[in-house]
Chains A and B, each alone.
Chain A
Amino acid sequence: MALEIVEGCVNCWACLPLCPNEAIIEATPHFLIAPELCTECVEAFATPQCAAICPVEGVILNELGEALNPPGSLTGIGASASVSVFRNEAGA
């Protein structure tokens, strides 16, 4: 039972000091969770701490590959796809 940090994580450090099991690893291109250490915070907290502070949608997944913070849940911007569309327009 473990969560996973995937591409899209911006290495912001917010999750790292909160993990009760020191399961989060500073790494590039993005931070990682050591699966053997992560308990999904069961017993320690009501909700997985890394996912409760992570500012980026869709970068912390459960074992089923589902995002704990799905698109639109944090910023109200909507799916991250629309963000990149906007960026392309701005860059054009």
Chain B
Amino acid sequence: MPTPTLGTPLSASGCSAGSCGSKSSQMDGLSADIQRKVQDHPCYSEEAHHHFARMHVAVAPACNIQCNYCNRKYDCSNESRPGVVSEVLTPSQAVKKTLAVAAAIPQMSVLGIAGPGDALANPERSFTVFRELQLRAPDIKLCLSTNGLMLPEYVEQIAAANVDHVTITINCIDPDIGAQIYPWIFWNHRRIHGREAAEILIAQQQKGLEMLVARGILVKINSVLIPGINDEHLKEVSRVVRAKGAFLHNVMPLISDPAHGTYFGLSGQRGPTPEELQNLQDACAGDMNMMRHCRQCRADAVGMLGEDRGADFTMDKIEALEIDAQFEQAAMQRRVALRTEINAELEAKRAARHTAIISLLRPAKPQGRPVHMAVASSGGGLINQHFGHAKEFLIYEASSAGVRFLGPRRAAQYCGGEADCGEAENTLARTIAVLADCEVVLCSRIGIEPWGKLEAAGIRPNGEHAMEPIEEAIGKVWQEMLAAGKLNAAPFEDQKMA
């Protein structure tokens, strides 16, 4: 039986990323083959992640290294994995859960193993799940995340299991820096400390990366940005991993809190500010494609990126389900049909945007400075969320070159119901601080009180584009600002004077 695939190749008339006029287009510089693999990928394509869903199953509890930003006991906010306090599944439970979710959410298209420990420190458990799903739901892409220590040993098995992409967390390529991030590794039946440990880990990661690329498997690199330790160094990491053929480098902020009980949390190591993160992402973007929409989703996350539906699929609910071959077949057919539909829609959007950008650029290049805007969206690429319900905002930059996505930012959720309401004041202030660099916030609706506070902070709320596609609406708002002469003034000036 032929395996149904997710993507259809770009048609010749479509907007191939390199020619879209937007310098920042996420796919610039990728080979056609990789572009095709990435284009409709729910994790890697800015566009597709609005429409497809992915899930991770927590089948890999053991880990074989220690990172200074990790405490095995708790959910790790840095490496997309839950802590061991979360429910660890047996391989057969994981398979059943995947099939059940993929039947209930036909957008489901990727299954990942990322923890709670390291996928390759639990090779039997991880590969059992992959083999089984390869047989029973061959349309679902498989991925795994690893620290890379055991990678060279398992590249053959990864290829044999038809794993679509691998994420390696690489925080450094210099063992002296590594020694400040990794206190020890477990290697050849011994615990190895310090610089020697970092040296082995780095060598294994680099070798694994090269071997995967040689096998034609997509490799993404994750790095945790640790100010004062690897911030400058990550530019070098970016250059090296790209030269070796990694298709994406995703720089994530260190999340550090004494309450997590991690070495960095307790030693007072701070995480980067949003500006530091963005500056580094920009510095690396010249070298390599950066994944700005990464949500650092949890390893057992279920649902669309940024939206965790895990609670709908607890193990007792799933155990109660009867899943047979017919059920599996029908579910797969629904998924494949939906994907075909979504891909056609994406294709049409790309073509439309291509035309829009051309018409934007043709009439004597408009002047006007770039503007950051925040969007409340619950998915589908639309402005469709109430300001107060947004758990995160998508930050875009509009300029004469078009609209580009900068990344998501977590909001302090300001009205989640009665319980939070005493906190509302404080939460709103924190959300406003997070959006400080934005001049406009687009949402479907917004309450009167936050409206006033946002305006006072120089951020203009805008509910006029509810249910419209994000990038189009941002383009319009920018054009309006331009036409009103607001884009000659320095940012915020007109509003601050008002």
Q: B350 interface residue, CB < 8 Å from A? A: no
Specify which chain A residues have a CB less than 8 angstroms from the CB of B191 in the assembled complex.
Answer: 47, 52-53
Would A11 and B84 count as touching, CB distance under 8 A?
A: yes
With A45-B189, A83-B266: A13-B88 Cβ-Cβ less than 8 Å: yes
Q: A17 interface residue, CB < 8 Å from B? A: yes
Residue of B whose beta carbon sits closest to that of A82: B266
With A47-B189, A86-B258: A12-B72 Cβ-Cβ less than 8 Å: yes
A34-68, CB < 8 A from B = 45-47, 49, 52-53, 55-56
Q: Which range contains the number of B residues in contact with the other chain?
A: 20 to 34
Q: How far is the CB of A55 from chain B (nearest CB, A)?
A: 5
Other-chain contact of B183, A45, A56, A76, A86 (Cβ < 8 Å): A76
Would A10 and B184 count as touching, CB distance under 8 A?
A: no
Would A52 and B189 count as touching, CB distance under 8 A?
A: yes
Q: B136 interface residue, CB < 8 Å from A? A: no
Convert B57-101 into 0s and 1s, putting 1 for each residue whose CB lies closer than 8 angstroms to a CB of A. 000011110101000110000000000100010000000000000
Would B63 and A14 count as touching, CB distance under 8 A?
A: yes
Q: How far is the CB of A14 from chain B (nearest CB, A)?
A: 4
In Å, the complex CA distance between A86 and B184 comes to: 23
Q: B313 interface residue, CB < 8 Å from A? A: no
Would A10 and B84 count as touching, CB distance under 8 A?
A: yes
Specify which chain B residues have a CB less than 8 angstroms from the CB of A10 in the assembled complex.
Answer: 72-73, 84
Specify which chain A residues have a CB less than 8 angstroms from the CB of B190 in the assembled complex.
Answer: 46-47, 52
Would A90 and B258 count as touching, CB distance under 8 A?
A: yes
In Å, the complex CA distance between A17 and B61 comes to: 11
Specify which chain A residues have a CB less than 8 angstroms from the CB of B246 in the assembled complex.
Answer: none
Would A74 and B184 count as touching, CB distance under 8 A?
A: yes
Q: How far is the CB of B57 from chain A (nearest CB, A)?
A: 15
Residue of B whose beta carbon sits closest to that of A15: B62
Specify which chain B residues have a CB less than 8 angstroms from the CB of A52 in the assembled complex.
Answer: 186, 189-191
Would A55 and B258 count as touching, CB distance under 8 A?
A: no
With A52-B190, A53-B64: A86-B266 Cβ-Cβ less than 8 Å: yes
Specify which chain B residues have a CB less than 8 angstroms from the CB of A16 in the assembled complex.
Answer: 62
Specify which chain A residues have a CB less than 8 angstroms from the CB of B186 in the assembled complex.
Answer: 14, 52-53
Residue of A whose beta carbon sits closest to that of B124: A17
Other-chain contact of B117, A13, A46, A56, A75 (Cβ < 8 Å): A13
Would B63 and A55 count as touching, CB distance under 8 A?
A: yes
Would B62 and A12 count as touching, CB distance under 8 A?
A: yes
Q: How far is the CB of A33 from chain B (nearest CB, A)?
A: 16
Q: How far is the CB of B117 from chain A (nearest CB, A)?
A: 7
Other-chain contact of A76, B63, B122, B257, B263 (Cβ < 8 Å): B263
Would A90 and B66 count as touching, CB distance under 8 A?
A: no
Q: List 15 A-B contacts (CB under 8 A).
A: A12-B72, A13-B62, A13-B117, A14-B186, A16-B62, A45-B189, A47-B189, A52-B186, A53-B62, A74-B183, A77-B267, A82-B266, A83-B266, A90-B258, A91-B259
Q: A75-B68, A86-B258 are in contact. List 17 more A-B contacts (CB 8 A).
A: A10-B72, A10-B73, A12-B73, A13-B122, A17-B124, A46-B189, A52-B191, A53-B62, A56-B72, A74-B66, A74-B183, A75-B66, A75-B183, A76-B263, A83-B261, A86-B265, A87-B261
